[in-house]
Amino acid sequence: MTTDIKKGLAGVFADVTAISKVDPEINSLVYRGYPVQELAATQPFEAVAYLLWNGELPTDEQLAELRAIEHANRALSPAVKDLIDAMPVDSHPMDEVRTVVSLLGAIDTAGIDNVLDAVGTPAENLDRSIRLFAALPAVIAYGQRRRHGDELIEPRDDLDYAANFLWMTFGEEADPAVVDAFNRSMVLYAEHSFNASTFTARVIASTLSDLYSAVVGAIGALKGPLHGGANEAVLHVFTEIGSAENVGAWLDEALAAKRKIMGFGHRVYKRGDSRVPTMKAALDTLVAHYDRPDVAELYDTLESEFVARKGIYPNLDYPSGPAYSLMGFDTLTFTPLFIAARVTGWTAHIMEQQASNALIRPLSAYDGPDERHIDGYVPDAADVEALQRPEEAAD
């Protein structure tokens, strides 16, 4: 067996990217050269989306143009609403969003009867990316409302992306401090190099499949609790523990059972996730706004006890889970919020992959049974010829 296996592709550089850089040595994450903390503190999410797609922050005019397209595509179309309503009311919202993106792709690529054309031009794919980014908040907001038996709320044209997202979910205008915390979370979640879902999107794009198919695959990868599903899982942990005084006993039991503690650890960052301090500051603002010191106490106690015992630090999902909970989002809605943000990074990567494409197709080392044969089978000439072909040629 080949010895040079990188299980989980850990430590492998699969390609180059100009979209973001994660540097765990100095605990830094930059989008197109800008530290994510600076972007979170100063930019609306729409401007960060523009940056990821185009490589530069927008001018006022460019931002206004992007916002105009975003506003024009925010409302839930009747076809999408019907599709959501056709799904069981207790279906997981990740499945709802994944299914809706599939429908949007089918509508958008209808009439294209040559698979080579579905890949789209760079301009078409930028346009698809903006419309998808604009359409998802209504899907996620309505998903949460439907689970509560509430009616759809139409978007408000006078509100920007973050404020309108909260409006469509809760039907009331959010406090500016809450809008700011939500906007920061969107910026922090927008992009993170070759994480599992982005890499999935790039693998699909590398076959020259269309952008929607790549996003659907990425959503599937994001759902898992080792990736995006962790923010939802963090809240389950908080609920299980109950309050700060139970942390020690809960951890004793969880670690004895060799449980992975959700919201801690990272494949790339080993000394702390560069996004956590910014999101923790946003969480602190929300704790003060909603007067919930108990949340901060549980957060701090679990963090300090777990770090003291295992030396493993929180990742972004640790502060974002309780932050979204305080804002009023259902636990089930947390990972869909991650989709709304990360769709910008995914689509930027899909376009980058297609601009300089190589089919992503690694090798596998075989460790199954030795060659064997069907009793009584007599190979014919074609089989004999096939055996002389290169091993990996028949995908």
Ligand X SMILES: CC(C)(COP(=O)(O)OP(=O)(O)OC[C@H]1O[C@@H](n2cnc3c(N)ncnc32)[C@H](O)[C@@H]1OP(=O)(O)O)[C@@H](O)C(=O)NCCC(=O)NCCS
262 near ligand X, judged by CB under 6 A: yes
For residue 351, give the H/E element and its range.
helix 334-355
The answer to whether the beta carbons of residues 19 and 195 sit under 8 Å apart is no
Residue 312 engages ligand X in binding (rule: CB under 6 A): yes
Contact between 212 and 105 under an 8 Å Cβ cutoff? The reply is yes
Half-sphere exposure for 355 (CA within 13 Å, toward CB): 14
Does the protein bind ligand X through residue 251 (CB under 6 A)? no
Residue 349 annotated as catalytic? no
CA 166/CA 179 separation, integer angstroms = 8
Q: Does 263 bind ligand X (CB under 6 A)?
A: yes
37 to 113, 139, 167, 325, 328: CA distances (angstroms)? 45, 28, 26, 22, 25
Q: Is 315 in the site for ligand X (CB under 6 A)?
A: yes
**342 makes contact with ligand X (CB under 6 A):** no
- Annotation marks residue 71 as catalytic: no
Between helix 334-355 and helix 122-147 the angle, nearest 10°, is: 170
Output 50 or 194, the one with its CB closest to ligand X. 194
The residue count for binding ligand X (CB under 6 A) is: 15
CA-to-CA separations, 116 to 121, 131, 204, 207, in angstroms, rounded:
11, 22, 14, 10
267 binds ligand X (CB under 6 A): yes
d(CA 178, CA 10): 37
Tokens representing residue 99 in the block: 């299914």
Closer residue to ligand X (CB): 7 or 148:
7
CB of 55 to ligand X, least distance (A): 26
Name the segment binding ligand X (CB under 6 A); options: 33-41, 42-50, 205-213, 264-272: 264-272
Determine, following the binding rule CB under 6 A, whether residue 320 of this chain makes contact with ligand X: no
23 part of the active site? no
Assess 266 for contact with ligand X (CB under 6 A): yes
Per-residue interface string for the shown chain with ligand X, residues 216-245, x marking contact by CB under 6 A: ----------x---x---------------
CB atoms within 10 A of CB 195: 23
**Binding region for ligand X (CB under 6 A) out of 77-85, 182-190, 259-267, 340-348:** 259-267
Of the two residues 225 and 328, which places its CB atom closer to ligand X in the complex? 225
Q: Which of 71, 192, 227, 349 is catalytic?
A: 227
Nearer to ligand X, 184 or 266 (CB): 266
Measure the N-to-C terminal CA separation of the chain; round to a whole number of Å.
21
Residues acting as catalytic residues: 227, 266, 317
Point out which residues bind ligand X (CB under 6 A).
8, 226, 230, 260-267, 310, 312, 315, 317
